[in-house]
Amino acid sequence: MTVRDGSVEIRGLARPARLTDPDAQPFVAAADLAVRVRRDLWGDDDHAESLPEQFALAANTPTEHWRAWLALDARARVVGLVTATLPQRENHDVAWIDVVVDPGRRRAGIGSALLDAAERELRAAGRTVLAGWSETPGTAPGRDTVPARSGEGGLPGGVPVAAFARRHGFVLEQVERLGRLDLPVPAATLDAVSPAPSRTAGYELVGWVDAAPTAAAADYARLKTAMSTDIPSADLAQDAEVWDADRMAQEEAELAARGGHRLVSAVRDLRTGRLVGHTVLERFDARPAVAYQEDTLVLAEHRGRRLGILLKTDNLRRLATVWPDVRRVYTWNAEENTPVLDINAELGFRQVGVVGAWQKRLT
């Protein structure tokens, strides 16, 4: 396939059995490109997945299958990569894709060639919805704003990734704020925002590291099922996920294979003994100074009691003891998720980026 700056070959990328195998070189080169692209965007490796992480993520599981395509130049160097994650339990028509191009080879049609090749094969595999995320450092959309079609907020229209997505038929469905919290958070700040005991009477905190205890597994699965439908998702194709103990154990094993760890705080309703809310922080061995705020959920019938802030302050206090090397926490929240954005502001998160959820329906 020919592009404007010469010839590139688009080739499928297979996951090697082991990274030390002779046929692993294309995968290693592709992983290196993915790291360099994230580093070029953010100026650090806080959002770059290491080679072992990418290798673990590329393993097919009962929940997700992985596919990828490379762009090779005339010297057989990897200059572009597109990966696709194909859900297997739900969302059978969706493929989540990510396109990256060598920073020195952009605006030459390589990304378009990769996307066209991937789209043809994903369509043939029965996927009718392509979705993906874009990341833009900064805080304000600027003058030429691309508004979210079904959510709130917008993205700077002048950034190359927005122009690329729109040119290829993708629609911006949702916008998220990327927030950062520098640690340690002063104890006085946590005390000031923590709810009064009278607001949370009748509830107690519980917590764990990595795998959920057996006694909490059923309730935790119920919370994760609710998480798939209760958080704002605009008009993104999203089926309800069904979680059980086996699925949780599989996910925990996959996280461990990536060098990941999980810190969970949950809240129990003393009247029923059931868990009714949780929040999750994750950390990876490759980036010991960084943690990522993942799920935060309180079941609808228990909201309005400041249980969300109770959970987050508890997990930040525990983080200081369990992971003392962590110096910053990142979080992603939809612009329409005002309650969680307000909690983050109380805790001291500041916006450092804008994230867009793009979607293209092939039919």
Phi, psi of 206 (to 5 degrees): -135, 160
* Euclidean distance between CA atoms 255 and 52, whole angstroms: 12
Phi, psi of 52 (to 5 degrees): -60, -35
Between 118 and 7, the more confident residue is 118
pTM: 0.94
Between 5 and 334, the more confident residue is 334
| Averaged confidence pLDDT in the chain | 93
Decide if pLDDT at 101 tops 90.
Answer: yes
Decide if pLDDT at 92 tops 60.
Answer: yes
* pLDDT value of residue 363: 76
* CA dist list (Å): 54 to 64, 137, 258, 334, 350: 14, 23, 8, 26, 28
On whether the CB atoms of residues 280 and 296 are closer than 8 A, the answer is yes
Tell me the three-class secondary structure of the chain, residue by residue: CEECCEECEEEEECCCCCCCCHHHHHHHHHHHHHHHHHHHHHCCCCCCCCHHHHHHHCCCCCCEEEEEEEEECCCCCEEEEEEEEEECCCCCCEEEEEEEECHHHCCCCHHHHHHHHHHHHHHHCCCCEEEEEEEEECCCCCCCEEECCCCCCEEECCCHHHHHHHHCCCEEEEEEEEEEEECCCCHHHHHHHCCCCCCCCCEEEEEEECCCCHHHHHHHHHHHHHHHHHCCCCCCCCCCCCCCHHHHHHHHHHHHHCCEEEEEEEEEECCCCEEEEEEEEEEECCEEEEEEEEEEEECHHHCCCCHHHHHHHHHHHHHHHHCCCCCEEEEEEECCCHHHHHHHHHHCCEEEEEEEEEEEECC
* pLDDT value of residue 143: 65
User: Each residue of 27-75: pLDDT tens digit?
Assistant: 999 999 999 999 999 999 999 999 999 999 999 999 999 999 999 999 9
User: Each residue of 276-305: pLDDT tens digit?
Assistant: 999 999 999 999 999 999 999 999 999 999
Ordered domains of the chain (ranges, CATH): 2-127 (3.40.630.30), 184-326 (3.40.630.30)
* Euclidean distance between CA atoms 206 and 268, whole angstroms: 7
* Euclidean distance between CA atoms 59 and 257, whole angstroms: 10
* pLDDT value of residue 1: 54
User: Each residue of 184-231: pLDDT tens digit?
Assistant: 999 999 999 999 998 999 999 999 999 999 999 999 999 999 998 887
Decide if pLDDT at 352 tops 90.
Answer: yes
* pLDDT value of residue 231: 79
Decide if pLDDT at 139 tops 80.
Answer: no
Radius of gyration over every alpha carbon of the chain, rounded to an integer in angstroms:
21
